[in-house]
A and B are shown apart, each in its own frame.
Chain A
Amino acid sequence: MRPKKAKKIVFKSAEEMPVMICSVGHQTHNLTGAWRNIRPEIDRSKCIKCGICWKFCPEPSIEVVDEWPVVDYDYCKGCGICAEECPAKCIVMVEEQR
């Protein structure tokens, strides 16, 4: 469920580093889902497909697929905002197994 470890890039020397203090290209390899302690679980039997969870997710880690909200657990950091904002109260935050 939860990515084991976010991939880490380590530079071995100053020479290898870019001149500007920036990331090495895009950051999609950084699987922030590994940071999570709790994860959102969406109960489709109660979901009204309003899209509010998708709108409020700050990451964004919720996509809309065939009108249903789908959590991307590779990146979801477990902030709980979706559960808080859901008007149908169909999202529950569940403890991650360590």
Chain B
Amino acid sequence: MKKVMMGNHALSYGAMLSRAQVISAYPITPQTQVVELLSEMCSDGTLNAQFIKVESEHSAMASCIGASVAGARTFTATSSQGLALMHEMLHWAGGGRHPIVMGNVNRSMAPGWSIWADQNDSLSQRDTGWMQFYCASNQEVVDTVIQAFKVAEALMIPAMVILDAFALSHTYEVVDVPDQGLVDKYLPPFKPAIKLTPADPRAFGGLTGAEHYMELRYKLETDMEKAPALIEETGREFGKIFGRDLGLVDPYRCDDADFIFVTSGTAGFTARVAVDELRKSGVKAGNLRIKVFRPFPFERVREVLGKVKKAAVVDRNCSYGAGGIFYQEVKSAIYGRPGMPPLIGYIAGLGGRDITTDSFKEIAADAMAKDRAEEEIVWIGVKK
């Protein structure tokens, strides 16, 4: 059924169709509509879930962890300052192996106090043991929440479904809402092997000495390494049922490209428009949109990059002192491998500054004039 909805509501529909059983969340711009619609759905019976009201995001994630370990399929949503506030609990959910799915709206970190889009909030959490899915359309948001629950629960690893503030969260697009019956076939109920129950008493997350801790983390990492294949397999399964494949990366016109952009989020869709315009003017351009950032899709990224002559990585984030984060990780993915192209790193769109097709053309012109990166960061659109 086709429906025009905003990105935030796409998150709500994803959680509703996935039959989330417990939702605990705290409001923050630009996420509030996610939780508003979910609480309406709970109160009118569309969604049979328990809604736990809390006084902060830290408590929201703590509640989610409690609910998840008790065996409930759990969902929450937040952004920026709220995500940062739950940082300690993100480590707990990741390390504790609690398959919570969380929608995060990419909003800049304060100060300066900003409600507009950039990726530092979610990327600052990349070490916490959560999967990270970056979406570029509201359709992708609904679909990815459903797939995220399937993968998270299979691997016992939590997942973030991430969308840009306003460019996606508050933008209305046409969404083909998946049929509930078909979603039920794709995503069976959550049945964890171990859970918090008086029938089988256990203690969770207790004091762990050096003789055990490392093995537990080794297990997390090796399970995380199963995720790329599982995401592709469940993505193909999704495609068979709903007609839309969900993979790790979205390459566009890369097969015969000399030069490509490497992008993520909504900028990754705007890049396509720039690619088409560049192609019209004779440049064999392409775009590689990275959809899954954790686990990092090493193989798929190497596959695409190995065939092109040069790539410009465009980051809507900055790790102060080391530059764009996707740039660093793409560089390390191809390090030492033969046949890889020079990479040049660009930072654009911080604090919600618009990234336009002109921005991409500026990046392409700059990259094509260089044989290799001449500095760690090329800033786009900054009034120096």
A12 lies within 8 A of B112 (CB): no
A24 interface contact, C-beta 8 A: no
A21 lies within 8 A of B383 (CB): no
B383 lies within 8 A of A12 (CB): yes
Question: CB within 8 Å of B: which of A3-21?
Answer: 11-15, 21
A21 lies within 8 A of B384 (CB): no
B383 lies within 8 A of A14 (CB): yes
Nearest Cβ distance between residue B384 and chain A, in whole angstroms?
A: 5
Interface string of B350-384 (1 = CB under 8 A from A): 00000000000000000000000000000000111
A-side contacts of B383, CB under 8 Å: 11-14
Q: How far does the alpha carbon of A15 sit from the alpha carbon of B383 in the complex, in Å?
A: 9
Q: How far does the alpha carbon of A97 sit from the alpha carbon of B233 in the complex, in Å?
A: 63
Q: How far does the alpha carbon of A21 sit from the alpha carbon of B110 in the complex, in Å?
A: 10
Q: How far does the alpha carbon of A11 sit from the alpha carbon of B382 in the complex, in Å?
A: 12
B382 lies within 8 A of A21 (CB): no
A-side contacts of B384, CB under 8 Å: 13-15
Q: How far does the alpha carbon of A21 sit from the alpha carbon of B383 in the complex, in Å?
A: 16
Nearest-neighbor residue (CB-CB) of B111 within chain A: A21
Nearest Cβ distance between residue B80 and chain A, in whole angstroms?
A: 16
Question: CB within 8 Å of B: which of A69-92?
Answer: none
A-B contact pairs, 10 of them (CB 8 A): A11-B383, A12-B383, A13-B383, A13-B384, A14-B382, A14-B383, A14-B384, A15-B384, A21-B111, A21-B112
8 extra interchain contacts, Cβ-Cβ under 8 A, other than A12-B383, A14-B384? A11-B383, A13-B383, A13-B384, A14-B382, A14-B383, A15-B384, A21-B111, A21-B112
